[in-house]
Amino acid sequence: MSSWIEVADGVHARRYAELDQTLGLVVGERRCLVVDTGLDEAHGAEFAAAIRELTDLPWTVVITHAHFDHYLGTAAFGDVPVYAHPGCAVAMREDVRPEWARRYREQGKPEIADRIAVARVVPPTHEVPDRVELDLGGRRVTLLHPGPAHTDHDVAVHVPDAGVVFAGDLVEQGAPPSVGPDAHPARWPGALDVLLALRPTTVVPGHGEPVDPRFVAAQRDELSAGST
C-alpha cells in the first residue's frame, strides 16, 4: 500500500506500509527533487511512476543517509544527479544486501528478499559536505548536514518557501528513533536543534507521518535524556 500526502504546495510525501517508510518530492518550475528512493528497484520504480503522475519535470535525487531502504531504489530513476554527504558514499561501499535479504527471508518475505539481493547500488554523484543550495526553478531548496546523529552523514532537505524540512531518519513518527551501531546519540539532539532553528512548520520523517516542531522538540528531549 502507498499513498501521497500533500505537505504544502508542490511538496509531497509518499507513505508506504513496508517499514512505515516516507519518501519525498519537491516540485519547482524546471526540476523536481526526489528525497530518497526506497528499499529496492521495484520500490523505486513504483515511486518513480507515482511521481510521473504528478509531474514530468526532470528529477534530481538526494539520499538522506546510507541505510538500504533509503537508496537501493535509485537505479529506477536512471542516469540522474544524486546528492549525498561524502560519508554516505563511503558507507554504501559495504554490501548490506545479503544481510537484509537474509532478514527478509527469515520474516517470510522472500519476494522482497529477492529484490534486495539484486538491487543495483548507485553511488552519489554530488557531495553535500555541509550545505548545498539547489534551484528547482522558482523554488530554492537547501540540502544540509546538521552533524552526526542517526548516522555520521545525515542530510536534511529544507524547503524554505513552504516551511518544510525532510528529516530522513533524524526524526521518526510512530516508533522511537532508531539508534543503531552507526548512530551518534550524544550529538543527535544538537542535530535536531539545527533543524528546529530553521523554523519549519512541518517536518517529514523518514518513517511515519509528517509532524510539527513540537514533536521534533519532544523527540530531541527524549534523545537527550537517553544519552545522559
CA distance 40 to 112: 8
Average pLDDT of 200-226?
96
Structure confidence by residue, pLDDT tens digits, 122-138: 999 999 999 999 999 99
Q: What is the pTM for the complete model shown? A: 0.97
Structure confidence by residue, pLDDT tens digits, 173-190: 999 899 999 999 999 999
Strands 59-62 and 82-84: parallel
Structure confidence by residue, pLDDT tens digits, 61-114: 999 999 999 999 999 999 999 999 999 999 999 999 999 999 999 999 999 999
Amino acid at 31: R
- Where in the chain are the domains? 2-226
Average pLDDT of 14-28?
98
**Cβ 107 vs Cβ 57: under 8 Å:** no
Task: Name residues whose C-beta falls within 8 Å of residue 65's C-beta, 6 or more positions apart in sequence.
Answer: 85, 88, 91, 150, 151, 153, 154, 155, 168, 169
Cell of 167: 528529516
Name the CATH superfamily housing domain 2-226: Ribonuclease Z/Hydroxyacylglutathione hydrolase-like (3.60.15.10)
**How would you label 195-221 residue by residue, b for 16+ Cβ within 10 Å and e otherwise?**
bbebebebbbbbbbebbebebbeebbe
Place 226 in a pLDDT band, splitting at 50, 70 and 90: confident
CA distance 135 to 25: 14
pLDDT for 227: 65
Q: Report residue 156: phi and psi, to 5°.
A: -110, 160
Average pLDDT of 36-59?
98
